[in-house]
């Protein structure tokens, strides 16, 4: 049985998808970009500000599913520019202290021309 996750504390889906789906005790969250949920506006700062907002958006989906950053088993991170890798990691390591598995790639372009996008897969809490 699949359970859709939705919270107004993270950006609404901008397409035909859910913020997250729970299946077999795991949360599969859609990628989060640095949209400020309360305003719907983009965080337009540098990679540090955008990474913080994107990761916090993912955190709200984790919370809505009843889990947290410590239960994340895998992240996929997309950067608009690999030159931002070190700065992105400085933000990332403050949230994902359990060091989940991760892929991090540079892509040609991200939605709304943001600098990063973060998606997570997490186990539900015991």
| Tokens standing for residue 43 | 């965080």
Report the pLDDT value the prediction gives residue 125, as an integer from 0 to 100. Answer: 72
The answer to whether the predicted template modeling score (pTM) of the entire model surpasses 0.85 is: yes
Q: What pLDDT is attached to residue 6?
A: 95
Q: Given this model, what pLDDT does residue 23 score? A: 97
Facing residues of 75 across strands? 102, 120
Set 77, 90, 104, 116: catalytic member: 104
Tens place of pLDDT per residue across the chain (126 aa): 899 999 999 999 888 999 999 999 999 999 999 999 999 999 999 999 999 999 999 999 999 999 999 999 999 999 999 999 999 999 999 999 999 999 999 999 999 999 999 999 999 976
Q: So what's the pLDDT on residue 14?
A: 80
What pLDDT score does 95 carry? 98
47 is in which domain, residue-wise? 3-123
CATH number at residue 117: 3.30.1330.40
Confirm whether 104 is a catalytic residue: yes
Q: What is the 3-state secondary structure (H, E, C) of the chain?
A: CCEEECCCCCCCCCCCCCCEEEECCEEEECCECCECCCCCCECCCCHHHHHHHHHHHHHHHHHHCCCCHHHEEEEEEEECCHHHHHHHHHHHHHHCCCCCEEEEEECCCCHHHCCEEEEEEEECCC
Total domains in the fold of the chain: 1
Q: What CA–CA distance (Å, rounded) separates 95 from 111? A: 23
Euclidean distance between CA atoms 48 and 87, whole angstroms:
6
Query: What distance in Å separates the CA atoms of residue 98 and residue 52, rounded to the nearest whole number?
Result: 17
């Amino acid at each position: 049985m699949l359970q859709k996750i939705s919270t107004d504390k993270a950006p609404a889906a901008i397409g035909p998808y859910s913020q997250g789906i729970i299946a077999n005790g795991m949360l599969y969250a859609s990628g989060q970009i640095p949209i400020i949920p309360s305003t719907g506006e983009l965080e337009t700062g540098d990679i540090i500000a955008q990474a913080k907002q994107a990761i916090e958006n993912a955190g709200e989906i984790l919370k809505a599913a009843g889990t947290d950053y410590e239960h994340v088993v895998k992240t996929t991170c997309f950067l608009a520019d690999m030159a931002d890798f070190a700065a992105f990691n400085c933000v990332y390591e403050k949230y994902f202290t359990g060091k989940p598995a991760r892929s991090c790639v540079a892509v040609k372009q991200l939605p709304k021309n943001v600098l990063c996008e973060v998606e997570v897969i997490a186990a539900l809490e015991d």
